Amino acid sequence: MSDTPIKPITWTKKSTIGVILLAFCAIVTVVGFVFHDDIFSIQGWCMTVDTGIGIVNAVLRLLPRLIESIGVLFVTLLVVYIVSTVVNRIFKGTPRKITIGKLVNSISKVVIWVICVIAVLAAWGVDVAALIAGAGVLTLIIGLGMQSLIADVVAGVFIVCDGTLQVGDIVTIDGWRGTVQEIGIRNTKLIDYSGNIRVANNSTIKVFINQSREDSYPLVYVGISYEEDIARVEKVLEDNRELLRSRLPRIIGYVDYLGVNKIGDSSILLQFGAKCKEEDFFQVQRDMNRELKVLFDENGIGIPFPQVVVHEAAKHEAATEGAGQAAEEQTEGGGGI
């Protein structure tokens, strides 16, 4: 047996109300099925009983329609649950399958609830055939005014089919970086590391960067003093490759020394890089900075801070020399008079 503890079920007020309403719908549906003839038949007691009270009689006449509507609602909820469960079981494993599964769930829920609304209207005596026939013209009119919505739906289908975006991918859209949380029939949801959620319409996603398909390569820059022997520093880095790898469990492979990046004002800037998963990008950068600093300290390699050398002229000597030259000029000028 597994030692993993079973996560307890937590009940909230919302979930409790939902279970109560679902149980009520189930009971009403069962009652309507068991007492079908007594409730829905023209000769049933709902249609024949006369209590002598107008409001009660009116409620009794409407009771079959109410029970039928509740039954349709219960069946709809049951079908939605079954379809969602089956789809989640079929489309699981890879991010592409999960993405397709979420899209299929979204579309199936819309279709099922539309059928539910039509069935409820039919239960209340609405001419559904005429309604569906008129819906064709209405759909055309609405379609002309909802071109952006249609564009979002079509774009969402192509995004899923092309596989350019998948649930769990880390992407940058319009300069905003986050993880794809859901690709719906109309929009795509991203969540960043702070928990902020960005919703982008599918039709507006034209240019983006998918950073999850290949390993990422964060770069780190560390300066060393001009007094340091670069050859010795490179020897220290080569000798400690395994040590750095053991201290940086999130990297893939080794820390790469990429050479001298810049001859700066107060330091020689060295460049380093390492492969990692995109979700570890920023943490690997921080870890590399720390471990390189520790390694340099352990081997006596100085990391300088910016310094400015100021050369101040000897003011007194300059002033004395200037005064002497002025006196000589004045003397020479006086001798010529």
For the stretch 155-166, pLDDT in tens is 877 777 777 788
Rounded to an integer, the average pLDDT of 58-68 is 78
Which of residues 29 and 250 earns the better pLDDT score? 250
pLDDT digits (tens, 9 = 90+) for 297-330: 999 888 887 666 666 665 555 555 655 565 555 5
Of 179, 153, 174, nearest to 95 by C-alpha is 179
Which of residues 284 and 121 earns the better pLDDT score? 284
Q: Which fold has domain 155-210?
A: SH3 type barrels. (2.30.30)
Burial 65-103 (b: 16+ CB within 10 A, else e): eebbbbbbbbebbebbeebbeebeeebeeeebebbbbbb
Q: What is the CA 215 to chain-centroid distance, rounded?
A: 19
DSSP for residue 305? P
Tell me what percent of the residues of the chain surpass a pLDDT of 90: 17
The rounded distance, in Å, linking the Cα atoms of 237 and 220 is 14
Which of residues 78 and 149 earns the better pLDDT score? 78
The rounded distance, in Å, linking the Cα atoms of 300 and 303 is 9
Q: Evaluate if residue 5 carries a pLDDT over 50.
A: no
Element of type H or E holding 307: none
Return the amino acid letter for 112: I
Of 18, 126, 11, nearest to 74 by C-alpha is 18
270: confidence class by pLDDT, cuts 50, 70, 90: very high
Q: Evaluate if residue 23 carries a pLDDT over 80.
A: yes
219-298 — its CATH code?
3.30.70.100
pLDDT digits (tens, 9 = 90+) for 203-261: 888 888 888 777 888 999 999 988 888 999 999 999 999 999 999 999 998 999 999 99
| Cβ atoms 260, 269 nearer than 8 A | yes
- pLDDT at res. 336: 45
In the sheet that holds 268-276, the strands lie side by side as 219-224, 268-276, 251-263
DSSP for residue 183? E
The rounded distance, in Å, linking the Cα atoms of 66 and 123 is 8
Most confident of 91-100, 150-159, 223-232: 223-232
Which of residues 131 and 93 earns the better pLDDT score? 93
Rounded to an integer, the average pLDDT of 48-60 is 71
User: Where do the DSSP E strands lie in 131-206?
Assistant: 170-173, 176-183, 187-191, 197-201
Rounded to an integer, the average pLDDT of 256-283 is 89
Most confident of 59-68, 90-99, 259-268, 321-330: 259-268
| Cβ atoms 65, 122 nearer than 8 A | no
Rounded to an integer, the average pLDDT of 33-49 is 71
- pLDDT at res. 313: 60
Most confident of 114-128, 266-280, 298-312, 320-334: 266-280
